[in-house]
Each structure stands twice: as C-alpha cells, then as structure tokens.
Structure 1
C-alpha cells in the first residue's frame, strides 16, 4: 500500500516536505536460484534487467543517477527502468507474475505483498535478510514483506503520520513544547480548543490514527489463529481502549463524525487557519501551503505522542516494497539491484532527495535538517502494518472500521458496534472468493 497522503490512501505527497520511509528485505532460496538462469555463467550479450518503478515514487533525477552508477559499477549489466501507473497496476503485476517473461524487479504496494506471495510467483528472499542488514531495519517497514515467516518483499520506502501544528496558535495558548504523552496531548488540545479555534481537526473516520491507538494498547485490527484463519479484533478490550482515546481527542475539535480526511480535504480545512493540529504525513504541509501561502513558516511537526514519553505513539507504515518474480530470467542479478536500492548509499540519497525515512534505524540522522521528515523518522520506530493477509484489500473496500468509528462517535454501544465490525472483518479475511 502506498504511504498515506492527503490526496490518496497510498499516494505520493505533493511536496518536498513529503516524508516517507524506506525499507528492504531480501534473499534467494537455493531452489529459486537453481531454477533460474545463472547470470554469471551466461554467454552472449550482457543481461538487461527490467525494473518496474511506480510513477512519482522517486524523482527522475534519482533514477537517472542510480542507473548510471549501477551500470558503471556492475560491468556487463544494463538496466531498463520502466515507469508504471498506479491505476490498474494490480492486475498488470498479477499477470506478469503468472507469465514466463516477468520483469526482474517490481515495486509493489507494501500491503499487496501477501496477495502476490500467495500466487506463488514471488521469490522467497529470506536467505538474504542478513546480507541486507535486516536487523537494523525499522520494524514497521519490515513487517509487510514477511508472510508466514518468509521474507518476500523489500519494503523500499514508506511514510507514517505525524502531527502538523499551527505554531501561532500554540504560542497564543502558551504551549512552548509539543506534547510527548497522550495525556499531555489531550491537555494541550483542550487549551487550543478555545476562542473559536479547533484544538485539532480530526474526522470520525481517520482509521489509520485509530489503528495506532489500538496498537498502543497492545491490540490489533485482526489476528491470525493457529489454525490459519483470521479473526477481526475490534471487540477486544484493547480496541475499546484505543477507541475511547480517539473519542476524547476527536471531541476537542469540530471534525465531522461521519467522513474521513478526504471529505472535505483536511488540508484545505486546516489552511483556513482556525485549526491548531491535524494528523497527516509531513507532505500534507505542502497541500496546506498551496491553499494558504500565508501559513509559510507557521507550521511545525511532532510525532504522534505515545502512552509514555519514552516511546512515540504507534503509527501505520505505508509504502512500497521491491519483489523479484520467480520467472525472472536473471534472479541473481535482480537481487543485486535490490541490494543496491536497499543499501546505505542509495537509501541516504533517496532520504535527502525525497525526504523519505531510510529503512535503517542507524540512518535516521540524515534527516536532521528536515523538521517534518525528522518527526516522521522519530515516529517510524514504532511503526506497524495492517494485518498481513492476501484479503486485506477486501476489508478496506467496504471498511467496517470506518463504520464502527462513526457508530461509536454518534452514541452506539462500543461493544455491540465492535462485534459487528469484527464479524465483517473476519468474513472478509477468510473469504475464498
């Protein structure tokens, strides 16, 4: 799934402040390697690797520099980097994985890895995790590429939400330091919710934020049982506690209870200057400034607060992974491309150019000069993924989580609403159609 952005669930951000994070996982199984062509032993012309990259994931300049550097340092290998459109990409990748002439490296949405892995057309890269220094990966970025204990995906970059705040409104309320805990956050937001201002603009269906609060309580949206079946988890005490906090926070503003952050666009609401805070990717600042350039230099960023000051709040990590199709004719060479893109040099280059969070915790310092990206990097250490099921897309299609949230916020019994949502999630995740 693409990183959350103001204009689409997993979309690019509109500006240089966009922040996201990168990540990688890898490994060729002995079986996969033996069934593919041995690049080193091939005679004739050097291999030409086809690499599918999604539009706007990275800049043209970045791709040009990577291609030139890679080809100069890997004599005998040429890269054919092809830009793909997000619209319709699911069917295109599914067809490619089933073919005998698939690309060698493919960028996919991170929540789609389970679906593609289930098809049997993606290589198990578990054996290469150590080679890629996987122990240093940001946990929330690594999770989506790991299915049933096997590493298929290389979450290449990702984004998570932070709090964007109006510095002038904070100063007027006498708040000099952003909150570090949930209780401080509620207290500060109450102070900001005066004089015709909203303490926070938070809609009733910002479900990624709710997921973070549930994770903080030790819960989840769904869990996989020992028998391999999935069960929704919105009827648990942990989900109830997360929703109770969401309800308290949402009440300190005038956001609609029956819609999400796209209806109306929350960046345009915030741009009116009366909202003190909004939960968004850092890239949301670009959309705010586009709507109201007068807010330039008045926007600040901080990680979503956690239950204690020792750890930021949990956040959903969305983004893209790199996978190697089983039918790639150059699997060993394809892995080398993945290794380069996931390595320190190009992770650092990408972080600086795109304001993305690097995939390794040890590289977070490269964003020290970018306030929005730094806040996101700080929050990324507590990143999480949606349930790793091939059917998760079916849950999002009708999204009973949103329905549950609106019901609770408008007075429904949380336990009853949670039970209904849990049943819907369970049915979707266990569907075989």
Structure 2
C-alpha cells in the first residue's frame, strides 16, 4: 500500500457533475452498472471524466458508478464487503494489501486475463509480486510511487559536486563532503525502515522469508546486517534523530530550512518543501537511490495500488473488462501524465521522460520491491520491531544480537 508517510496528490473533489461521489448510472433494462471503489485522491476529477466518457462510449451498455473511499479503516471495510452479497465490482487496494484480502477467498483469480491481455511479464515487480498469491494473480498493477533522493542544488554546487552519485560508494563520499559547517550531508531519520529495506534487498537479504508453511524474520542474516551497516554509515552524515521515523519531525520541514543537502522521499515531498520555503523553488534536484554499481539503481520499496475484482461481484465479467482498460497502455500513459505516477510497466517509462522527478522515480521503480507477501504482515507493521532494532544499532548496540531479537518478533508476528 502507499506508505502512510508518502504524500498523496492534491485533494480530489467529488464534483456534482460526477453525481456527488459516483457517476450517475444510465437507465434501460439492458444497461449494466459497474460499481467501482477508488481511494480518495488516487485520481483527479479530469482523469476520471476522460476515462468514464471514453469507456461508456465504447461500451454503450455499461455505466460506471465510482465511489471514493478513505484509506483510514479501509482494510476492515473491504474485508467485510468481500464476505457480503453487496461487494462492488472493482476495488482499488494498496499493493501490499492483496494477500490480506486473498486469504478470505473473496477475490477473483485474474491469472488468465493478466497473461493473455495485459502483458504481465513487463509489470513492475513491486506491484505485480504482492498481487500474486500461490501462483495466482489476484491484483492487477495500476500505478506506483517510490522514493528518490531529493537534493538542494545550491548546496551541491557550493561543495563542487556537479553530478549526482550513481553508486553507494560515491553516495557516501558525496554525503560526507556535504556534511560541513552548519549543513547536513543528508537528513535520514533513524527509523526509516522502508529505506533500510532497500539496502537489505540490494545486499541479497530479506525482511522475512517463507519456509514451509510459515514465515521467518531474517534481519539477522549476513546480507541484512550489511544493509543495516550501510544505513548507519549514511545516517551518520546528518543529524537525523536516531530514535524517530521520518515523520517525527516531518523531514520535509527540516529540509525546507535550507541547510540539508539530501533527503529520501517520494518526489511529492518537494511540494511541501517549496510551500514551507518558497526560496527553494526551482532549486531542488532528484536522482534515484544509488545502487551498489552504476549500472543499476538501488532497490526501493514500491508503494502504489492494484485493482481487484471480488468473487461475489454482481457484474464480475464487466468489472474484469474495466480493470483491463484501466491497466491498459492508453490509460496508463494518461494516468502517469496526469498524476505524475510511475506506470505499471517498465516499458512505459518513456511517458514521464523529461520530468526530472518522475524520471528518477521511474528509474528506481524498475528495482522496486514490496514487503513480505504474508496476510499477517500488516500485524507486524502495527507492532513494527524493525524501528527499535534500527535505533538500537544506531545507538551502539551489537547489530547481530539486536537483529536476532527483531527477527524473532517478526517471526512471531507472522504466525497465522
């Protein structure tokens, strides 16, 4: 799902022309009304009007009725409706929520459609993998957003840095050069565990792995420990709090003070920065999180949405056709341009070329990953043992011992 710390697009207004929060269904005995739940702010009014008008023109016997839902409390709401006889026909869900809903046996298996019509071999891994459960595709990738490095061009210029770093080694060197005087080379909070996950994945490690019929936390493995070691080195080139996440205080507000050279966030954070400090407008740059080599960007957590069809949907077949349209190249290109999202396929990255921020995001998205695909992962995040583990290591605790304790808590949290 979109990380709770990731800023969503500007507020979407459910205009009267759209029938409040739904499109006015057509009339006539042969008309099929496809009910769609989308998440608040996921698309603009203009995009929705374009899609609806075009789709209903091409499918004269179909009316689309769209209702917007709030992210808060959506998990319980969807789980409840999947077990009822009043489920909508299409639902937008967070990419990491699919496993939770599939566990209820309330989702339609969309494997055939994904292979035959949608070109699943080109999907972003961070969207496709969470939607696949036991070899069946229940969630169809819709859009993605992931972290990049936002940097202050003036501070880079003052330090004589003309080209953003492309490898981890270069990144550490650049961050150290920028960490001078009253400036911070990078503002990285001690509990930004999504960023840590990317470093762990780059080292070949995992947060947890499935063994037999259960899951096991793996922060204590050599690969995961190497990821944490790199995080500690990078974090040392700034004054980010070791015992708080990126929202305490909000890192965009800290960056807006003008003395921070870099931060890791989705590009939308730039809007917050520029609003807080208009003097920084036009002075922000973007580059993908660097990888271990210059040929491949670093791994990043991919937030975004998948589309699902409930098994008990009244207009199930028509709902599948709507999903296929929304996931098609035509509407993926439109959505990416309209909302500055990363399209669902790596082959569509050209649609956001020329936009520095979204191009950096798309480059990183090709190395996108998601959290462990377990229905219980939401429970792990609620108690989140990764955050105190990170703080303990940054404050000098033995990494192996702290990691083993955190892995044990993850394993317990993933028990069915």
TM superposition score normalised by structure 2: 0.94
Which is further off, 87-96 or 52-61? 87-96
Residue 397 of structure 1 aligns to a residue whose secondary structure is helix
- Partners of 1:395 and 1:86 lie apart in 2 by 19
Separation in 2 of the partners of 1:10 and 1:162? 12
Residue of 198, 209, 231 corresponding to 1:212: 198
TM alignment of 1:90-239, pairs within 5 A = 90-130=75-115, 131-225=117-211, 227-239=212-224
Aligned equivalent of 2:8, options 8, 12, 24: 12
- Is 1:423 the counterpart of 2:408? The answer is yes
Q: Structure 1 residues 270, 309: CA separation in 2 closer, same or farther (over 3 Å shift)?
A: same
Give the CA deviation at 1:46. Answer: 1.5
Query: Could you tell me how far apart the structure 2 residues matched to 1:203 and 1:169 are?
Result: 20
Q: Which residue of structure 2 aligns with residue 375 of structure 1?
A: 360
SS in 1 for 2:396: coil
SS at match of 1:129: helix
Alignment check: 8 A CA contact 1:58 1:354 kept: yes
* Other-structure match for 1:414: 399
Unaligned runs of 5+ in 1: 17-42
Shift of 1:11: 4.8
Report the CA distance between 1:360 and its aligned residue. 1.2
User: 3-state SS of the aligned residue for 2:86?
Assistant: coil
Q: CA deviation at 1:91?
A: 1.5
Aligned with residue 247 of structure 2, among 245, 262, 269: 262
CA distance in 2, matches of 1:255, 1:78: 51
What is the alpha-carbon distance in structure 1 between the residues aligned to residue 224 and residue 278 of structure 2? Answer: 39
- What is aligned with 2:33? 48
- The equivalent residue for 2:18 is none
1:149 Cα deviation (Å)? 1.4
SS in 1 for 2:37: strand
Q: Give the secondary-structure state (helix, strand or coil) at the position aligned to 2:274.
A: helix
1:338 aligns with 323
Number of residues of Structure 1 aligned to a counterpart in Structure 2: 400
Unpaired segments ≥5 residues, structure 2:
13-27
Contact 1:10 1:319 in 2 (8 A): no
Partner of 2:293: 308
Counterpart secondary structure, 1:358: coil
Q: Deviations over 1:365-404 (max 9, x none)?
A: 1101211000000111100010000000111111100010
The alignment's TM-score, normalised by the length of structure 1, stands at 0.91
Q: Assess if the C-alpha contact under 8 Å between 1:15 and 1:286 holds in 2.
A: no
Higher alpha-carbon deviation: 241-250 or 43-52: 43-52
1-structure distance, mates of 2:11, 2:124:
24
Residue-by-residue CA offset, 1:209-253 (whole Å, 9 max, x unaligned): 10000000000100001x220000001001110000000000010
SS of structure 1 residue aligned to 2:190: coil
Counterparts of residues 377-392 of structure 1 (less than 5 Å): 377-392=362-377
Greater than 4 Å deviation, 4+ residue runs? 13-16
Output the CA distance in 2 between the equivalents of 1:112 and 1:138: 16
Is contact 1:14-1:284 (8 Å) kept? no
Higher relative contact order (CA 8 A, sep 6+): 1
Taking the aligned partners of 1:98 and 1:275, their CA distance within structure 2 comes to 49
Following the alignment from structure 1 to structure 2, what is the Cα–Cα distance between the partners of residues 276 and 120? 48
For 1:393 and 1:70, the matched residues in 2 are separated by: 35
SS at match of 1:255: coil
Structure 2 CA distance, aligned partners of 1:141 and 1:258?
30
Residues 47-104 of structure 1: per-residue CA shift (max 9 Å, x gap): 1010001110010111111111100011201110111112221121111100112100
In 2, the alpha carbon distance for the partners of 1:318 and 1:155 equals 11
CA offsets per residue over residues 127-172 of structure 1, 9 Å max, x none? Answer: 1122101111122221110111111011311211000000000001
Q: Is the 1:144–1:155 contact (alpha carbons within 8 Å) kept by the matching residues of 2?
A: no
State how far apart, in whole Å, the 1-side matches of 2:73 and 2:122 are.
34
